């Protein structure tokens, strides 16, 4: 018989995210009078994306003048009324049931009525409260005694696309400290590379202003130029590219794809070279092949458009035996889309963003389905983040072994990394840190 830990209070407020946009924070109190007089209060702040996938659950925004239409007053109201009514008195230890009740209160496929932001805030805050009431660290409450795998951090050190106002067309260039012995050492290595890159950019009189996720955002001409500079930064840090540090790209290709042009348009490269750069899906794949040949790129996310299943299958056939091919906009943490991907042999890894699907249980089902099919998973932040560290605990709990949390700077990003440092300390010698390259490819 399950212990009964009743939800006693549910409350939400509007707070700000790292882009200065409003978002939902929920507080949930459980077990008043059962586990102590006051019970325990958990909280969660939901993140928000900029390059959102077409098939994501919908976050509710007010659309009135306040905050230029970005307010979340209605979503907050929904938490304080309908969603609170749905879960008050329910057992916080039954996360699946809590989430089912939240989904039923909404009743739509896309969560558009209550708002995925409203539902997720309550879902996560319930888990946080339950963990506190059980006096367990969140990662252990969620993952049990098997939660010992520290994630390899994918640190986004150069921003482009929708995350910056520069000429770099791909959205993210990341470094993976695959040769580190532990998370702490990996974070140190990555941070040193980040600082070396800053110096290289400064020496060349290029901008060291940063984008949404804390990576630098200079005007560069092509992915090749970016990766060459990153290689220099790794060497300047006294590390070996391809051995200590590998690279990952998030092309965010759905943002580049233009239906009317039937291809991927590169505005930055076109501007810098003075000729229109348009690539077909086939040309995109060949382009990735060249980059992988020249640089230690071990992971490519959203290499093609979110609706191009045929292209994705071809990409996977050509590169999937040595490169991690990650579906973000393609899968949107949605089990139906992941199942389709598995069937079509599209990609070999899934980016997990809890707010893409809108509840903790559904996000965990996505991880489970992916792992069962031999797909890798990467727990990921959004470009609009907060000081909330739920993601760090979930990354360890899921055993996925990878996390995307931005550059090793800016408080909303370092909050996750610092939480992981604390978790690794807590785990002590039981902590595991290991990069699992596709077919052993570093």
Ligand X SMILES: C=C(OP(=O)(O)O)C(=O)O
Binding site: which residues?
Answer: 163, 171-172, 250, 301, 328, 353, 380-383, 404
The least CB distance from residue 162 to ligand X, in Å, is: 6
Interaction between residue 52 and ligand X (CB under 6 A): yes
The three-class DSSP label of residue 349 is strand
List the one residue from 149, 380, 386, 414 that touches ligand X (CB under 6 A). Answer: 380
25, two tokens: 């924070």
Interaction between residue 385 and Mg ion (CB under 5 A): no
Nearer to ligand X, 144 or 411 (CB): 411
Interaction between residue 382 and ligand X (CB under 6 A): yes
Tell me which stretch binds ligand X (CB under 6 A): 47-55, 336-344, 366-374, 416-424: 47-55
Nearer to ligand X, 39 or 408 (CB): 408
Q: Which residues within the stretch 148-177 sit at the binding site for ligand X (CB under 6 A)?
A: 171
Beta-carbon contacts of 231 under 8 Å, excluding residues fewer than 6 positions away, are: 241, 295
Report the relative pairing of strands 257-258 and 152-159 from DSSP bridges.
unpaired
Rounded to whole angstroms, how far apart are CA atoms 21 and 72? 9
**161: which DSSP letter?**
G
Beta-carbon contacts of 225 under 8 Å, excluding residues fewer than 6 positions away, are: none
The strand ranges marked E within 307-352 are 324-327, 349-352
Binding-site members for (2R)-2-phosphoglycerate are 171, 353, 382-383, 404
The least CB distance from residue 390 to ligand X, in Å, is: 15
The least CB distance from residue 302 to Mg ion, in Å, is: 5
Catalytic site positions:
213, 353
Q: Which of ligand X, Mg ion, none binds 159 (CB below 5-8 Å, type-dependent)?
A: none
**210: which DSSP letter?**
B
Interaction between residue 213 and Mg ion (CB under 5 A): no
- Angle (CA) 180 222 169, round 5°: 90
Nearer to Mg ion, 27 or 328 (CB): 328
The least CB distance from residue 191 to ligand X, in Å, is: 20
Rounded to whole angstroms, how far apart are CA atoms 122 and 103? 11
Tell me which stretch binds ligand X (CB under 6 A): 21-29, 96-104, 227-235, 380-388: 380-388
Q: Which of Mg ion, ligand X, none binds 50 (CB below 5-8 Å, type-dependent)?
A: ligand X
Q: Which of ligand X, Mg ion, none binds 380 (CB below 5-8 Å, type-dependent)?
A: ligand X
> In 181-196, which positions are buried (b, 16+ CB within 10 angstroms) versus exposed (e)?
ebbbebbebbbbbbbb
Tell me which stretch binds ligand X (CB under 6 A): 32-40, 365-373, 379-387, 420-428: 379-387
Q: Which helix (H) or strand (E) holds 189?
A: helix 183-203
269: left (phi over 0), alpha (psi -120 to 50) or beta: alpha
**284: which DSSP letter?**
H
List the one residue from 26, 28, 50, 397 that touches ligand X (CB under 6 A). Answer: 50
């Amino acid at each position: 018989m399950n212990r009964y830990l009743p939800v006693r209070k549910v409350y939400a407020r509007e707070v700000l995210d790292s882009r200065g946009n409003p978002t939902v924070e929920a507080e949930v109190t459980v077990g008043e009078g059962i586990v102590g007089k006051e019970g325990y209060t958990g909280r969660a702040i939901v993140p928000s994306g900029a390059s959102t996938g077409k098939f994501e659950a919908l976050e509710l925004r007010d659309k009135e003048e306040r905050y230029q239409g970005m307010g979340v007053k209605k979503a907050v109201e929904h938490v304080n009324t309908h969603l609170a009514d749905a879960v008050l008195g329910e057992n916080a230890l039954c996360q699946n049931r809590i989430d089912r009740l939240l989904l039923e209160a909404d009743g739509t496929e896309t969560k558009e009525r209550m708002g995925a932001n409203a539902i997720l805030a309550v879902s996560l805050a319930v888990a946080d409260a339950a963990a506190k009431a059980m006096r367990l660290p969140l990662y252990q409450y969620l993952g049990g005694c098997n939660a010992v795998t520290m994630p390899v951090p994918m640190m986004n050190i150069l921003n482009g696309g929708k995350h910056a106002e520069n000429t770099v067309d791909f959205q993210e260039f990341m470094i993976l400290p695959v040769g580190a012995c532990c998370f702490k050492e990996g974070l140190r290595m990555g941070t040193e590379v980040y600082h070396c890159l800053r110096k290289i950019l400064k020496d060349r009189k290029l901008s060291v202003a940063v984008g949404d996720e804390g990576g630098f955002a200079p005007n560069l001409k092509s992915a090749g130029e970016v990766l060459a500079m990153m290689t220099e930064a790794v060497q300047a840090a006294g590390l070996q590219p391809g051995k200590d540090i590998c690279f990952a790209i998030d092309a965010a290709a759905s943002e580049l794809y233009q239906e009317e042009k039937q291809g991927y348009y590169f505005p930055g490269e076109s501007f810098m070279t003075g000729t229109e750069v348009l690539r077909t899906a086939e040309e995109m794949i060949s382009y990735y092949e060249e980059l992988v040949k020249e640089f230690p790129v071990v992971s490519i996310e959203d290499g093609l458009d979110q609706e191009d299943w045929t292209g994705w299958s071809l990409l996977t056939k050509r590169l999937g035996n040595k490169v991690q091919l990650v579906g973000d906009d393609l899968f949107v943490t949605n089990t139906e889309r992941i199942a389709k991907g598995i069937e079509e042999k599209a990609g070999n890894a899934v980016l997990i963003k809890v707010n893409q699907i809108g509840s903790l249980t559904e996000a965990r089902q996505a991880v489970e389905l992916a792992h069962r099919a031999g797909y890798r998973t990467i727990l990921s932040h959004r470009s609009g983040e907060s000081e909330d560290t739920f993601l760090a605990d979930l990354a360890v709990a899921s055993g996925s072994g990878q996390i995307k949390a931005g550059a090793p700077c800016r408080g909303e990003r370092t909050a996750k990394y610092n939480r992981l440092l604390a978790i690794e300390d807590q785990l002590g010698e039981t902590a595991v840190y290991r990069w699992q390259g596709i077919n052993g490819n570093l």
